[in-house]
Structure 1
Amino acid sequence: MQMGKLATLVLLYAVSFWSMVGTGEAQLKTVLINCGTNSSVDVDGRRWVGDLAANNNLTISPAPVADPAAMSGNTSLGPIYGSARVFSGGLNYTFQQVQGDYFLRLHFCPFALDNHNVNESVFGVAANGLGLLSQYNVSTDIATKNMELQRSGSNISTYLIKEFFLSIGSNELVVEFLPLKGSFGFVNGLELVASEDSLFAGAISKVGGNSANLNVSGRGMETMYRLNVGGSRINPSEDPDLQRTWEVDTGYMTNVDAGSQIRNNSNITYASSNDSSVAPLRVYETARTMSNNQVLEKRFNMSWKVTVDPGFDYLIRLHFCELLFGQPNQRNFRIYVNNRTAADNFDIYARAGGKNRAYHQDYLDAVSSRVNTLWIQLGPDTATGASGTDALLNGLEIYKLSRNGNLAYVGASNPAQNTANNSKARVLLVGIGAGVGSVLILAFVATIVFLLWRRRSRKNGGKNNAPGWRPLFLHGASLNTANAKEAAGTKNQFGSVASTRLERRFTVAEIRAATKNFDENMVIGVGGFGKVYRGEIEDGTLAAIKRAHPQSQQGLAEFETEIEMLSKLRHRHLVSMIGFCEEQNEMILVYEYMANGTLRSHLFGSDLPPLSWRRRLEVCIGAARGLHYLHTGADRGIIHRDVKTTNILLDENFVAKMSDFGLSKTGPALEHTHVSTAVKGSFGYLDPEYFRRQQLTQKSDVYSFGVVLFEVVCARAVINPSLPKDQINLAEWALRWQRERSLETIIDPRLRGQYSPESMKKFGEIAEKCLADEGKCRPTMGEVLWHLEYVLQLHDAWLRANDEGSSSLHVESSEDRQAGGGGGGGGAEERRNPLFTAEGNGESAAGDD
């Protein structure tokens, strides 16, 4: 019996051996080469053979003599980095018996070597004629990668591994190294690992198009990113099949809080038997999901942004495993690649065939030669009716596909390209020099003209000064005491009284005296910047003093932005800055005091009496005037970027003024439609289009203002996790009622019977338009302002018609009219005419005020 089993094993071995040899030789599964030595080392149970060792299945040409090109490296980083092969001429490594699909990994670690500066090493690499690297500098690439590692919270690295996927049609692989003329190259190790033939095969979905067959034969790939989403780093030893490294995804997310980490260590299996080598099961045990996260805004996406080489096609592989839901249609979401929909109604459970089933989906997208970033975004698909509208992702891989037989990308910073462009650069520099010279001459002439005009103006007593918007330049300079006192109490051209010591640089001692040494009893508010104190400067003027906390989420950039913006802007509906303090490591801003605090405090969360409908309209009109001035009062306009009810302040007469310009951005230049910038703002108010595309426009402020309008009429928080699921987000909840033309069902109960139904109807329509999904479909702030003024006219007409009715209405009307157009800023004659144009209204907002 035992002899029979032995014979069977011998037979199976013989069949296996001859199936590999046949008419040729057996295919090598893994080749690990330790360059620059004849010694072999063991790393994590794998044997790395020296490139000079005998019988290593490798041929080096030209053959090294006495190993003069080897060097001693840093063994503390790992045994394979203890040596390297250095070459000043062409060098070929030829592997035999390697037909099929392989991962080729090149290991590099910079070193110190006599007569060579590794920072000046520039070389190229090709594999069977396919260009892998061109004009490549290891030190520069390591520095770039370390920036990404630091963003992700990972430790920086002093070595680098470049990974490529090759489909080898012949029986050999020739890896060719070629240094740039006059330079040299080096390599520490080569790793060749066979993969399953089905790893990259079959149909693949093109983003924005149909499916296509991915043929990698003759078209290699470079691994750009391999991320374990929601989990920790996976080392090569923990991915035994292909020895891959999976990095953490944190540093590549635009907002980590948009997705929370979940884990499930239950028995996970592959959806298909062919998927066993696609990724280790550990990748599918962790994930990021929008469920139960701190964002609570279903319009927002989880977003990953990576840097890629322009002008190539990219394979995006997404790894999924449903860890929570046990039925289909419980989690449906959309997938976006570079702001285009790659898939909608994506149901992991249905596609994978159950819960805890590992599944992957591939997408193909082309990146323009003018773009070096790739966005991967997952967000809810609210149109599907699924019980869960959050997204989930377990892993992410991005591969660059070769184009025209080349994977190498030559950036603008490469030495050879700089040399090739020297002649063009000289011509460009000459042109720039001529242009700069012309500008300087014109500037000199303009300065002379300005000084002559100023001298003449002073002789005329300043009578020729024309009214209008005038920027004030503050940063780096301050008004002296004499000028400040002269400015105190004077009426400026904007119709407001200038504060004492306008834009003055305060000392810490003066601030401490004004706030009674930062007495906690003087605190009137707390925000992301720090505490706000009620203070009294030496001449008795009340002020709001905002002091940055050392651990503030905002910092020097916001501090300087606030000063820069408010030093340029003057308007009745913008909070004025009196001065600032930046000594003794303090960052303090001093504003005019707004006696009635924030708009939000008058809507909910306090015991203050409720605002009447008319006063709420005038507050909205005042805020709209301030925003309209920001958008139109300067050449390129200014985008506030943090419009919310806590940033709308009310003075003693309930005049609304916009505040907090720390996040503001100058608008786009004439030839652009948006400003590309990282997403900042407040959840619940953020424009979803801005969040998804990172493209800021004035319409982003319009969206936030639309949320403010619903907050004003409903008197509740924009995000309230304690409410039922469909009511958590005010914008979605109120918009749903508005689209049913039933907004009055959810308005502040304290308003009932105190408003014109027609005015409420028009008000809801304005808010609805502001919250349009696409910015191009939203009105401008000038148009919003016009419609709000019209809503106020409708309400005033209703009040007059009912003046003989309820005495309470009569009292309300009298009180509001005493407060007078202060909140809205428009005159009675203007309000009686519903046909005035948005342009005319805009002039009034930017000029008369």
Structure 2
Amino acid sequence: MMGKLIGERLLLMVMILVTVIIIVEAQPKSFLINCGSNSSVNVDGRKWIGDMAPNNNVTLDSPGAVVSNATFSGNSIYEPLYKTARIFTASLNYTIKEVQGNYFFRFYFCPFETVDYNVNESSFGVVVNGVKLLSEFNVAGKISHKNVNLKISGKNSSSFFLIKEYILDVDDGMLVIEFVPSRNSFGFINAIEIVPVVGELFAGSISKVGGGNLNLTGHGMETMYRLNVGGPEIQSNQDPDLRRIWEMDSSYMITENAGSGMKNSSNITYASANDTSVAPLLVYETARAMSNTEVLDKRFNMSWKFEVDPDFDYVVRLHFCELMYDKSNERIFRIYINNRTAVDNLDVFVRAGGKNKAYHQDHYDSASSGMDTLWVQLGPETAAGAAGTDAILNGLEVFKLSRNGNLAHVERYDTDGNSGSKSNARVVWIGVGAGIASVAIMACIGVFIFCFFKRRKESSDTKNNSPGWRPIFLYGAAVNSTVGGAKGSAGTQKLYGSVASTRAGKRFTLAEINAATNSFDESLIIGVGGFGKVYKGEVDDGVPAAIKRANPQSEQGLVEFETEIEMLSKLRHRHLVSLIGFCEEKNEMILVYEYMANGTLRSHLFGSDLPPLTWKQRLEACIGAARGLHYLHTGADRGIIHRDVKTTNILLDENFVAKMADFGLSKDGPAFEHTHVSTAVKGSFGYLDPEYFRRQQLTEKSDVYSFGVVLFEVVCARAVINPTLPKDEINLAEWAMRWQRQRSLDKIIDPLLLGSHCPESLSKFAEIAEKCLADDGKSRPTMGEVLWHLEYVLQLHEAWLNMDNNTQVVQEHSNQDEEEVDLDLKNATD
């Protein structure tokens, strides 16, 4: 009897154990893939398996190439993942079996230099089970703009990395992730994270702004923004179930002090048991409420602005938790999405069911054609009888919805750095056409008057208009004032050039360009930039020219092309590269400049076989570039901010006269009543103004910061970002500033300068560079002040050279006199 009882108990235990095993195996698995490695690493408490490790449940159809980034440095918890990458020049597939259900897909990218590949020029696409996630994607280009999951490891960091996140439904048990390089390019990937969605993350149907509903079933989604409103950044290990990163919201607010932060971490619970996976409780412990509600205008709102991809639809998720009031009708407000009312009379206490109850709302906004910004605003409900005109928000997420199995958007950027598309340009031209049509209709109404003036107009056109073509965007009143004269004192520096009319240069035909470049002969290439390749050619009967041809795969395009023409058509200065003309034919965008025989300043500092510049030549080059920038900042009504100051954009002519070049990213300065221009971040790694990066507020002092980096580059003769160096030397600005603060910059200068420079001039030069790199833009000098000090440094060096030469002459005379005395003595002896 006892044996039978024991047997039954053993059988029951076995059945329970089998049931547990079945349940565990039925749970969706996470897949953490460390690309470019055959070993595993532990990151944030989890094991990431190398994509070439044995028995990793991942099939890789082709190995591609493996690269190592052992010098990566930063405070990211994902640092070990960024030390290896897999590079592919042909299609690369990862296949994973036994995958079923909804998953978060995260792709980790960290661009770094390798011997054989320049990742800044990579371009590729990503497709998951037929859903296109990325197309012609350039990681470095994306990082140069403000992006949702961009993580910067510290101020002036040398380590930049990007995480792209998607939510997809896998319903056939098989997962295929395909990486596809763009034509004549390549791609790379550092890590892939696939995490199952826990709980009910999204309801089947959500409300549409303006009325109606949308069923989310069948839609893929991309996480565009995820913000912890009013609180600090939440790292992925603080959201253990879904490993999400929650950014701070302050950089997205139009007016940050419109909402003040608040915190209450006691007794917060979810309003619904189904909401536990929606967001961690940390999100609901902090919030942002309206500031000074007793005195604010009733129309005042807390506002957040986001750059989005045009021609897609978006889900906006708002997280709420009433942290202060313990009864209803204390805080009632409205929610606006893209200037339309999404919710009115919202009382979080009532909706959530009490104080300290975590609650969320989803809203679907159908994008207008060409829309590239999304606004979320919270403001008082003026018609309600709430105790205060107040609003509150704890968290905010923005998700992009797929259209016909597509989430990819090939980005183009306007002069403000905002995402746009070619459709935007078409809309503009349609508007221009409609305006012209309206004028024509009005002219028809006044047909007799039109006929009367027609003959006079034709006569005037024949007399005054020179042949050629002017794009519509270049029309406008000519600027009649000129600025000329010689150098003045600091602060009253007079300019060497003049402001030209808005008329562009010559319009070249494509046949003329082909003849000038021998049909774009590769042997004539003299440079490659973000816009495209630059060829040396001859135009107009032998005039040498630099001919820049747009690359269709480039992040830069029509907007930069138009900006370059517009800027150089209204500016003329000895220290700005002159535009000869342009070509816009058969989808080509080509710019023709004066030829600069000695190339870029950088090529004479390092990385080439060109003879090194003397200290005097380097000072003169810096002074020339400073004159050009000073003219940009002061030579127009509002001034012009270059926005891409670096040594590759400072060119030297046959006499080594320095001139600023590449104005495709340039921006008009702020209007008279403003202190800055609000714009997304554009520029080059290592030269970016950290204040501009943090606040997205562009000023002339942003150029000053970049010029300060140029000064250190000139004296140290090394790249501004060099990941092959030790960790504390990777970023030139940080490294040089550490030595300069110790007043020991002379220990790290270019060895070729040793013994051939005036020590005092170097000391003053270093002080100028240090001031340019001040964290606070207001503490930096103007370009006029920088120019004055550089000219003083040159004077010190020239005085030192003259003194040294005089000493040498005196010594030579002394030696000659001694020889003559010796000769006289010899003759007397004889």
- TM-score computed with the length of structure 1 as normaliser: 0.48
Larger Cα Rg: Structure 1 or Structure 2? 1
